[in-house]
A = this chain, B = another copy of it.
Amino acid sequence: MHFLTTSMPTLVNGVLSDAFEVYDRGLHYGDGVFRTLIVKQGIPIWWQDHYRKLEADCHALGIMPPDEPTLASDIRCLSETPEKNVIKIIVTRGTGDRGFAAQECMAACRIVSLFPMPDLSPEYAAAGVKVRICELRLGHQPRLAGIKHLNRLENVLARMEWSDHAIAEGLLLDGDGNVIEGVTSNLFMVLGDHIVTPGLSRCGVAGVARERLIRAARTHDVDVEIREIQTDEMQQADALYLTNSVTGIRRIRQIESWSWVPGPDRYPLGTWLDEA
């Protein structure tokens, strides 16, 4: 069977294909994890961090992660062209019998796809982005918090709340009103001489860009507080930023009716992200 919805290639367990096994637990239960990252001339950017996080997420769900050389080879195969592209990696627990019970030693399934880079206009980085606060509230599930797993209906429902292209991102709060993250990004706040980012022990996805930025800030002796943030507190921030492995760092210029006049950045977060 062949599907023709995309001209971009995918490797399923190393074989060029646009089909996967209909009994795979990734489809039936969202039983797997994923990554999205930039690749350039066959080189995946921030690869060590991405692989380490993929491995940790697999372990958290009891899935055997594919080994690093195998994945790196899949990525190289798909992306030898000089331009930048996006790689999405999905690892599922694989195929099983009907029912939730996972057999031991199931063979995980890996799916590596190439996608074009999103259109990031230069205006975007310079002027900052406009953001809304989503109505959907994230549920608390400490067992899944931080993991970039395939159960993403909360993100889907939140993203369905707006269609205005001028809005670059939606912020997600939890049921207690804490700010957690963006639908596809993590949040950082500069407050005086320190940096704050929400804790993700009960919900949210701990992205690789977030991890890199925390590490870099600390290397530069800047304190990063990881704690609860209430919406009102954002209004007091000197600057707010969104991080994502594909779109990089984006300064926020507006959240609902609050706006910021972009001045000089106190800290060169974009540079730090790349060097981390």
Which residues of A approach B to under 8 Å, CB–CB? 1, 3, 5-6, 10, 12, 15, 17-31, 34, 36, 61-62, 86, 88, 90, 92-93, 95, 98-102, 111, 113, 115, 118, 136, 138-141, 143-144, 149-160, 175, 183-184, 203
Contacts and interface: CB of A to CB of B under 8 A. Distances in A.
B144 A153 contact: yes
B113 A153 contact: no
Given A140-B175, A153-B61, A24 B27 contact: yes
Given A86-B98, A140-B175, A156 B31 contact: yes
A1 to B, nearest CB: 5
A79 B228 CA distance: 54
A22 B86 CA distance: 16
B22 A18 contact: yes
Contacts of A111: 22, 27
A275 to B, nearest CB: 27
A143 to B, nearest CB: 6
Contacts of A27: 20, 24, 26-27, 90, 92, 111, 150
Given A1-B1, A153-B29, A175-B140, A62 B160 contact: yes
Contacts of A118: 99
A101 to B, nearest CB: 5
A79 to B, nearest CB: 15
Contacts of A113: 22-23
5 contacts: A1-B17, A10-B23, A19-B22, A22-B111, A139-B203
Contact of A151 (B3, B86, B153): B153
A244 to B, nearest CB: 11
